[in-house]
Amino acid sequence: MPETDFTDLQSYVELPRLAALALSPDGTRLVTSAAALTADRTAWRTALWEVDPTGEAPARRLTRGAKGESQPVFTPAGDLLFVTARPDPDTKDDPETGAVWCLPAAGGEAALLDRRAGGISALAVAREAGTVLATSPTLPAAVTGADDTERRKARADAKVSAILHSGYPVRFWDSDLGPDEPRLLVRDGDDWRDLTPTPGSALRDTYAAPAPDGRTVVTSWWLRLPQGVNRSLLVALDTETGERRTLLADPDHDYGHAEVSPDGAVVAVLRTSRSTPKLAPRSDLVIVPLTGGVARPVAPEWDRSPASIAWAPDSTALVVSADEEGRGPLFRIDLESDAVTRLTGDHGAYSDAVVSPDGGTVYALRSAVDCPPHPVRLDARTPDQQPTPLPGPVEPPVLPGTLTEVTATAEDGSPLRAWLVLPESDAPVPLLLWVHGGPLGSWNTWQWRWNPWLMAARGYAVLLPDPALSTGYGQAFVQRGWGAWGGPPYTDLLRLTDAAEALPEVDETRTAAMGGSFGGYMANWIAGHTDRFRAIVTHASLWALDQFGPTTDLADYWLTEMTPEMAAANSPHLHADAIRTPMLVIHGDKDYRVPIGEALRLWWDLVSRVEGAENPHRFLYFPSENHWVLTPQHAALWYETVHAFLAHHLRGEPLEVPELLR
């Protein structure tokens, strides 16, 4: 692969993107997926690659389907299952939805296992019994897969897209919910058996974890309550009868990703306390017997929020990831002592961890602010170690600059820190303040959508701060900004900007602010409270909180974030009269988390206050994009427009409209 030129957006979008990691039962095969640009450069197509766990052989491509392959998972026999929408070579059917295919361990061609009309949205295999489970969207009245197919055909023939809802929510992130609903299926001979024939929305955005013997599967289960409120439980289903029993349910917590221990005795599950406008949520780990019983918190004194779960094969420990001070390390938690050991000693962020069958090795995908995801190997017990990179589908690119850190002190005395990307330059350079989304999050991983190295290649320094509400600094650090978005998060950002501007590498007279989602909210708040920035870019941003609350896809959650009085005190739209800084507004029409109405109202509030003939503001609108702007050429156009806007206001260059927007 040629060296990436970060000044060339087309070269950048060609970079393959790794996700997922699957380890064979004998520990000899490691498989990941890599998304690469299609020939017409308008989409990314995912293929499966095998990585040598020993690090001796180069990565080997396993699949080349025209529609891509994803969700690799091994059977106990070593066969590789995956999901793809490729045509059936026997019937020549060319489906639009994904089906389950099998690549035999003995070699040969992949074969179709089975498909469903609604596709397969998740896939899991019991590690000992080999029981195959899948989640598949199915129309509510459908009894069988064939029935679902006929009902879908009837809707398509009549050109009907209407959905009749009886509960909340009706959409999620960038997707309309319904008319189909996710059902959990188990493979029974040559067909699927439906374990959840009437789930409603209970399996929305959930993951099913089978016990090793395949007789039980554990999953979170959404429960609809009065007044539009939703709460998630942890349930176990019998894979033979479909009988469902509740493992964990309480009004103070929601339960998410769970994994059954290798000995089949207990379940480890991520839970999150239900927030109130006065109390921020806290995420932790608990274990509960698979047969039912009282949950036990894991490492209750550990002031971090775990984000993933992998079991040691002897069921005595967990390997988890968690944000920590701008990093995303892996930790080992001994379940008998609750001792927490940080395994990784670098500045990377780790995901998709899998543990070898002998318990001695952990494989994971490592990324960092200065490195895209790639496979690595770690010792399962050594603390603060450096990872061993494994040859993957692509080598990390050479970057046009360096990464360093900036520290400051908040108004209340809290320590603050940020990453700072510096370009190669002999003279002071303009500074871009980038605020992360969330608001619960951290700048600690590689970013495809907000990539600072594209800006460094053009001579900008990029400040990536973790203000109040950021994760990885303890619960008190989150709490200090909870319900007070315009307070400590705002002043923390200014303190860190002051620290960056004081550096000799930075030209403090040329600074811009940018952010997306919650970061876009902060960009809007900044615009109404200071004119120290020369330009502001706000993407998918919250503007009028009274309007946002009832129209976001999860209005019931918003009620636990702010009271109406708190929303009014923190709403940027009430400060529109004070805005003097040129703003670039960016939004996708299919964004359901932050609906397009926020951008439309912001745009009107800006242009209706322009007194002269020249409007300094711009609105980049994507009719077909969502919260993130995902398609390759739209992503390139996003960067091209942002580059032009910043160059105009920070460097005095003419405002060049991208060619495809002319």
Q: What is the pLDDT of residue 283?
A: 97
pLDDT in tens, 437-473: 999 999 999 999 999 999 999 999 999 999 999 999 9
Residue 502: C-alpha distances to residues 270, 443, 497 (Å): 42, 21, 9
pLDDT category at 98 given cuts 50, 70, 90 is: confident
All domains of the chain, ordered by start, with CATH?
401-661 (3.40.50.1820)
Which amino acid, residue 494? L
Is the pLDDT reported for residue 163 higher than 90? yes
Under 8 Å CB-to-CB from 339, ≥6 apart: which residues? 299, 333
Q: Rounded mean pLDDT of 284-308?
A: 97
Q: Rounded mean pLDDT of 10-32?
A: 96
Distance CA 271, CA 251 (A): 12
Say what percent of the chain tops pLDDT 70.
99
pLDDT in tens, 636-648: 999 999 999 999 9
338 three-class SS: coil
Of 473, 177, 423, the residue nearest 304 (C-alpha): 473
Q: Rounded mean pLDDT of 263-287?
A: 97
Is the pLDDT reported for residue 166 higher than 50? yes
Burial 599-622 (b: 16+ CB within 10 A, else e): bbbbbebbeeeeeeeeebbbbbeb
Is the pLDDT reported for residue 398 higher than 80? yes
Is the pLDDT reported for residue 432 higher than 90? yes
Q: Which stretches does DSSP call E strand in 305-414?
A: 310-311, 317-321, 330-334, 340-342, 349-355, 361-368, 371-379, 388-389, 401-409
Is the pLDDT reported for residue 266 higher than 70? yes
pLDDT in tens, 550-569: 999 999 999 999 999 999 99
Residue 487: C-alpha distances to residues 412, 441, 494, 500, 549 (Å): 11, 17, 11, 20, 19
Q: What is the pLDDT of residue 1?
A: 44
pTM for the predicted model, two decimal places: 0.96
Q: What is the pLDDT of residue 404?
A: 98
Q: What is the pLDDT of residue 33?
A: 97
Q: What is the pLDDT of residue 548?
A: 97
- List of long-range contacts for 189-193, beta carbons under 8 Å, 24+ apart: 190/114, 191/114, 191/145, 192/114, 192/116, 192/134, 192/136, 192/145
Q: What is the pLDDT of residue 95?
A: 75
Of 654, 482, 459, the residue nearest 563 (C-alpha): 482
Is the pLDDT reported for residue 90 higher than 80? no
pLDDT category at 96 given cuts 50, 70, 90 is: confident
Is the pLDDT reported for residue 7 higher than 50? yes
pLDDT in tens, 498-539: 999 999 999 999 999 999 999 999 999 999 999 999 999 999
Q: Rounded mean pLDDT of 60-82?
A: 96
Q: What is the pLDDT of residue 92?
A: 66
pLDDT category at 4 given cuts 50, 70, 90 is: confident
Which amino acid, residue 377? R
**Mean pLDDT for the chain overall:** 96
Of 209, 330, 296, the residue nearest 261 (C-alpha): 209
pLDDT in tens, 315-360: 999 999 999 999 999 999 999 999 999 999 999 999 999 999 999 9
pLDDT category at 88 given cuts 50, 70, 90 is: confident
Is the pLDDT reported for residue 2 higher than 70? no
